Structure 1
């Protein structure tokens, strides 16, 4: 049996790796090596989408140069960052000096999987949700934003005690980052698994369906698994998300 790929986990906007710790620990217990870089826009509001992409590429480049086969798990906004950062890292098409490393599978957890030339905000406008944005978000003059109801937005259905511990770890986020147009499309070339969430406020089912339908229109063969949860599926159904990662790691579509 081939060794498990290394996991590169890309967290969502307003978040920090600390909020993914239970999932990271469960993945490590299942035998995975996991890397979850803290995206710059979620720790410094002056940082940009390009800074997030550069951060991920730096980590990914070190893994690929070390000969690691990598499965990238993306949550929410992490899908935007991943789409740009993963260009040219597909296995076995990576740089010939990569010592045999490269990305072998993409796992999107209720994440943005956009066509090039489209931003996450474009999808907000396309569905008309920009009209109700002020009801759900506080926006500041410095360009940052924070959800008024993070318990509903991120953690619907979870225990209040758990939610109360998670919310203080969230951070204001620069909206310009989700207005940046995506340039990459690694999902057109690599095996994709998508975890769709049915009770999601942060990335509504309607958003996810649009992206999945467009991928199918583009001829992409997807494995889609449906979960009756809100946005933080990795916390609500941790065991199921670990199982999905194990299955994605062993997917027969993965390049060898």
Structure 2
């Protein structure tokens, strides 16, 4: 087993301000995981007309993942929340640690961890993953054309949180590009042999944004084997309430990946 923990590349979900994840990332770092937050164009976009899932994937790959692997030779575990599962899992394509070791290269992606996130086949959009259209609580073309915001975000994203924490988090939400949800997802890495037994999912049992039945259906639809743990909480609970439990789950997932070797 590796003596140095792999770097965590964290891919955020839609609408959530980066500060949402501060405690989660801090606890990962306290657990000796070097951790990097990856931004992407569709979150609070400067140009929503060009902020699609492919652009997000390219940005995560070129600005965050590839430099860690190719320039620094790092072993990386990608942890993805919600929509972040789309660009995160696609950016890892061709970069598994298993494959790069076989090619005589340093570094690589050791495993993929989704936290209440979208697991979509290539060519399917987030809207496709929800029956062909976005749920009614996603306000399209708000606050301006090409953008989205969640309606009643406390109930949808943070129903189990302390009311003051939920309200404060809701006040910091940022717009997300509509195109990101309606454009096809690039092909994901989890179809590749290098990620066999290296896929993990932390489910949120009380999630109103991506209900548990939907989380389970997406995993089942991949035809792949997933290591699954569950938190009894809302979409944001792993980061704003049950953060220690979420970090512990990440620790256990990573330990399982490392036990497989390269």
Fold similarity call, TM over 0.5: yes
233, 245, 254: which one aligns with 1:249: 254
Is 1:93 the counterpart of 2:99? The answer is: yes
1:195-243 alpha-carbon deviations (Å, 9 max, x no partner): 111111111122212112112xx2x221111221110132221111111
Work out the number of aligned pairs and report it.
248
Structure 1 103/63 Cα, relative in aligned 2: closer, same or farther at 3 Å?
A: same
Structure 1: unaligned runs, 5 residues or longer: none
In 2, the alpha carbon distance for the partners of 1:80 and 1:255 equals 26
1:176 alignment partner in structure 2: 179
TM-score (norm 2): 0.87
1:164 corresponding residue in structure 2: 167
Deviations 1:100-139 (A, max 9, x none): 110011111011111122111002225xx74x51xx2332
Structure 2: unaligned runs, 5 residues or longer: none
Structure 2 counterpart of 1:201? 208
What SS does structure 1 have at the residue aligned with 2:122?
coil
Of residues 98, 115, 121 in structure 1, which corresponds to 2:121? 115
- Greater displacement, 1-10 / 68-77: 1-10
Q: What is the aligned partner in structure 2 of residue 155 from structure 1?
A: 158
Answer yes or no: is the 8 Å Cα contact 2:161–2:237 preserved in 1: no
SS of 1:93's partner is helix
Query: In 2, are the aligned partners of 1:45 and 1:173 still within 8 Å (CA)?
Result: no
Give the Cα–Cα distance (whole angstroms) in 1 for the partners of residues 115 and 235 of structure 2.
9
Judge which range, 82-91 or 20-29, deviates more: 82-91
| TM-score with structure 1 setting the length | 0.89
Is the CA contact 1:67–1:100 (under 8 Å) kept in the aligned structure 2? yes
